[in-house]
Amino acid sequence: MRISISPSSGLSGSIIVPGDKSISHRVVMMSALADGVSRLQNWLPAGDCHATLNAMRTLGVHIDFTAKNETQADLVVRGVGLHGLKAPMHPLGCWGSGTTMRLLAGILAGQPFESTLDGHEGLRRRPMLRVATPLQKMGATVKTTEGRPPLTIKGGNLTGIDYTMPIASGQVKSAILLAGLFAAGETVVRQPGPARDHTENMLRAQGAPIVSTGNTIRLTPPTQALAPLDAAIPGDFSSAAFPLVAALLVPGSRVTIQGVNMNPTRTGLLEVLQAMQADVQILNETEEMGEPLADMVAQTGPLRSAMVKGNLVVRMIDEFPILAVAATQAAGTTTVRDAAELRLKETDRIKATVEELRKMGAHLIPHPDGFEVHGPTRLKGGVVQSHGDHRLAMALAVAGLLADGLTIVEDADVIADSYPGFVTMLSRLGAEVVLS
């Protein structure tokens, strides 16, 4: 499937972005480990999250799924408790989802049976030693295929460890903490920077003894059952990033995005955009599931360049393709450093972002750990490629709204990995986007 995007003369309206992807994965896994029934609204029915849902069903968890519309679903998860998962009859398919594979590896490391985790071609290229190594240190047998999927895990009899993560990663941290639920003794994770903390927030809400002090997290194995969850999942900041940047760049736009998760471990892009002098107002601040929520109102205005490096990188790790698009319209040179992790995402996001935006006339220079964008540039339409990466596909679609002439994003089905309803959302804001 491809999408064709015409230049836009202004976006306007109010939208609700779909539920947070990271939280949607976690609620399925963690309510499965609770004693009792969890009821979850606004769950994200995206490809990646369905991979998690299917895997948990294969592990013997009963889950009712009710689609509300293209972007929202309700779930009822009948928790089996910490020791109620069943050995799977076949390998667990994680499709293209790194979060499914890495977080499930943590849970499976605690189970007294053998299981295999596999995925599609793109996921099979991604590094897994980052989870295998700490889980092995805890006592699990984890076999990788030269450091990559498939993974075969034989768990049980874990001991807590004190682990200093070489990279700041929400997935690695979560895998260790989830394994820590099954370990004897305390598990300590020390992170080099503040990676997303949804697992910690959720474990706390479920009554697990977990304490975070700065970048150190300590989990004591729970002596009581994990409590079920009853909540609506907050809107995904990483999905909101696309209409947010579109509103800032398409001349004459004003867009309201409602109910967005403003967890500071996720909103690095907002800080960068504000430093670029973006006109974004934050209104109606509330809380849901221990996560801060707000509405964002964005309108078009001139941007200046920014420098992104250090700890900020991990707090906006999924937002670099869309930041690059914003930077093509900013006056000056925007520089991204300390972001070599981008080369290990759904695709090499440094290489692919530079390659595709150059096709549209943008001036980008790659670096081993980032890139530079020289702006402002008037973009031109053309045929561009998603490289099988949902976030790159959506960033290119936003670029298409600004470009002269028609832009075609090829291999755009992948958008549904994280944002089903993306095209409907853009159309609702007044954009001309056609699926074919």
Assess 170 for contact with ligand S3P (CB under 6 A).
yes
Kindly state the tokens that stand for 25: 């994965």
Q: State yes or no: residue 353 binds ligand S3P (CB under 6 A).
A: no
Q: Closest-CB residue for ligand S3P?
A: 170
Name which of 41, 96, 89, 99 is nearest 68 in CA terms: 41
The reply on whether position 58 binds ligand S3P by CB under 6 A is: no
For residues 220, 226, 229, 233, the Cα torsion angle rounded to the nearest 10 degrees is 30
177 in contact with ligand S3P (CB under 6 A):
no
Q: How far is the CB of 102 from ligand S3P (least distance, A)?
A: 7
**Piece of 67-75, 110-118, 171-179, 378-386 that binds ligand S3P (CB under 6 A):** 171-179
Choice from 4, 72, 99, 263 touching ligand S3P (CB under 6 A)? 99
| 111, 174, 239, 256: residue in contact with ligand S3P (rule CB under 6 A) | 174
Our finding on whether 389 is near ligand S3P (CB under 6 A) is: no
Beta bridge partners of 331: 304
Look at residues 82, 42, 52, 103 and name the one whose alpha carbon lies nearest to residue 207.
82
Q: Is 265 in the site for ligand S3P (CB under 6 A)?
A: no
How does strand 3-5 pair with strand 407-410? antiparallel
CB 128, min distance to ligand S3P, A? 11
Of the candidate spans 84-92, 164-172, 202-210, 223-231, the one that interacts with ligand S3P by CB under 6 A turns out to be 164-172
* C-beta closer to ligand S3P: residue 174 or 239: 174
Q: Is 318 a catalytic residue?
A: yes
| Number of residues engaging ligand S3P in binding (CB under 6 A) | 10
Question: Is there binding between residue 318 and ligand S3P (CB under 6 A)?
Answer: yes
Nearer to ligand S3P by Cβ, of 172 and 322: the residue is: 172
Residues 431, 92: Cα–Cα separation, whole Å: 39
Chain centroid to CA 22: how far?
Answer: 5
Interior CA angle at 63 toward 148 and 132, to 5°? Answer: 20
Of positions 8, 52, 171, 385, contacts ligand S3P by CB under 6 A: 171
Alpha carbon dihedral 9, 13, 16, 20, in 10-degree steps, equals 30
Out of 48, 318, 389, 417, pick the active-site residue.
318
Query: Residues 418, 420, 423, 426: is their CA dihedral positive or negative?
Result: negative
- Please, what is the minimum distance in Å from the beta carbon of residue 11 to ligand S3P? 25
Nearer to ligand S3P, 85 or 172 (CB): 172
Choice between 49 and 379, CB closer to ligand S3P? 49
One character per residue 270-309, x = contact with ligand S3P (rule: CB under 6 A): ----------------------------------------
Query: Applying CB under 6 A, does 196 fall inside the site for ligand S3P?
Result: yes
Residues known to be catalytic: 318
The residues binding ligand S3P (CB under 6 A) are: 22, 99, 169-172, 174, 196, 317-318
